[in-house]
C-alpha cells in the first residue's frame, strides 16, 4: 500500500485515496483498461474524476495510453523502465478477438522499419489481433 503512495509521489502525483484505488485496480488487472471499465469498478466515483486521474497518470508517466483499434482509449501501467515516448522503447499490443482483452507484450518491441525518402518516424503503434494464450488454451 505504501509502495503505491511512494510510486505516485515519485512520479509527481499526489496520492489521494481515489488515485491509490485506481492505481491498485490497474495493477491487479493485467490487461489494458478503459475509462468505462474503471467507471464500472468505481460506481460511486464520478466519471470526470476518473478521466482526469488517468490523464494525470499518463502525463506523469504512470500509465501509457493504448489504441487497440476498438475505438476506445485504454490504459496500462508503465513497466519500471518504460520510456513510452522513445521510439525504440515501444512495445506492441495484442488484442484478443475472442475475449476482447488487450495485453501489453512488453518484451516484444516494434521492429525498425525502413521508410521511403523524406519520411521521419517519431512514434509507432503496432497492434496484433487474434486469439490470446488464455483463449487458445481452451
Partner DNA sequence: CTGACCTATGCAACGGAAGTGCATTTATTG
Partner DNA sequence: CAATAAATGCACTTCCGTTGCATAGGTCAG
Which residues fall within 8 angstroms of residue 16, CB to CB, at 6 or more apart?
Answer: none
34 vs 109, beta carbon nearer DNA: 34
- Indicate which single residue of 6, 47, 59, 134 sits in contact with DNA (rule: CB under 7 A): 47
Taking a C-beta distance cutoff of 8 angstroms, is the pair 83, 89 a contact? yes
Closest CA to 66 of 57, 75, 79: 75
Taking a C-beta distance cutoff of 8 angstroms, is the pair 22, 7 a contact? no
- Map residue 44 onto helix, strand or coil: coil
Q: Which does 124 bind (CB under 5 to 8 A by kind): DNA, a copy of itself, none?
A: a copy of itself
Distances (CA, A) of 35 to 63, 69, 88, 97: 13, 15, 28, 20
Name the minimum Å distance from CB 66 to a copy of itself.
10
Note whether 122 binds a copy of itself by CB under 8 A: yes
Note whether 118 binds a copy of itself by CB under 8 A: yes
Sites of contact with a copy of itself (CB under 8 A) = 67, 69, 71, 92, 94, 97, 105, 107-108, 110-111, 113-134, 136-137
Sites of contact with DNA (CB under 7 A) = 13-14, 16-19, 34-36, 44-49, 51-53, 55-56, 71-73
Amino acid at each position: 500500500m505504501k509502495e503505491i503512495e511512494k510510486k505516485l509521489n515519485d512520479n509527481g502525483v499526489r496520492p489521494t485515496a481515489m488515485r491509490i484505488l485506481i492505481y491498485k485496480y490497474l495493477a491487479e488487472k493485467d490487461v489494458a483498461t478503459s475509462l468505462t471499465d474503471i467507471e464500472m469498478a468505481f460506481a460511486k466515483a464520478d466519471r470526470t474524476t476518473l478521466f482526469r486521474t488517468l490523464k494525470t497518470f499518463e502525463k506523469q508517466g504512470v500509465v501509457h495510453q493504448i489504441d487497440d483499434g476498438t475505438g476506445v482509449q485504454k490504459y496500462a501501467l508503465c513497466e519500471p523502465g518504460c520510456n513510452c515516448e522513445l521510439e525504440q522503447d515501444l512495445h506492441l499490443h495484442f488484442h484478443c478477438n475472442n475475449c476482447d482483452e488487450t495485453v501489453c507484450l512488453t518484451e516484444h518491441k516494434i521492429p525498425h522499419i525502413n521508410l521511403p525518402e523524406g519520411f521521419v518516424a517519431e512514434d509507432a503503434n503496432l497492434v496484433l489481433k487474434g486469439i490470446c494464450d488464455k483463449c487458445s488454451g481452451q
